Amino acid sequence: MATSAQHATADTPRPFQWCPGEDVTLTVLETLIPRLAALRYEVPAQDLRISLQRIPTAPRSGFVMATVL
């Protein structure tokens, strides 16, 4: 998997602050997102309005899924 991070060596230290969790985070996301996108489920009635008064924001009901296959 190619990432944008330049790997540091003793001779070529990274020129910027870097997160050592980047590779594992990207691998987990690449594995998880297609599986989540392929789920079949129902969305029961709920309050999906998003408050602009909080950070980070989210739908008021969260996101309720039912009959997940």
> Footprint of ligand HEM on this chain (CB under 6 A)?
17, 19-21, 24-25
DSSP code for 8: P
Q: CA dist 31 to 26, 39, 69, Å?
A: 9, 14, 18
In whole angstroms, how close is the CB of 16 to ligand HEM at the nearest point?
9
For residues 14 and 60, which CB has a smaller minimum distance to ligand HEM in the complex? 14
In whole angstroms, how close is the CB of 63 to ligand HEM at the nearest point?
19
For residues 25 and 61, which CB has a smaller minimum distance to ligand HEM in the complex? 25
d(CA 62, CA 15): 40
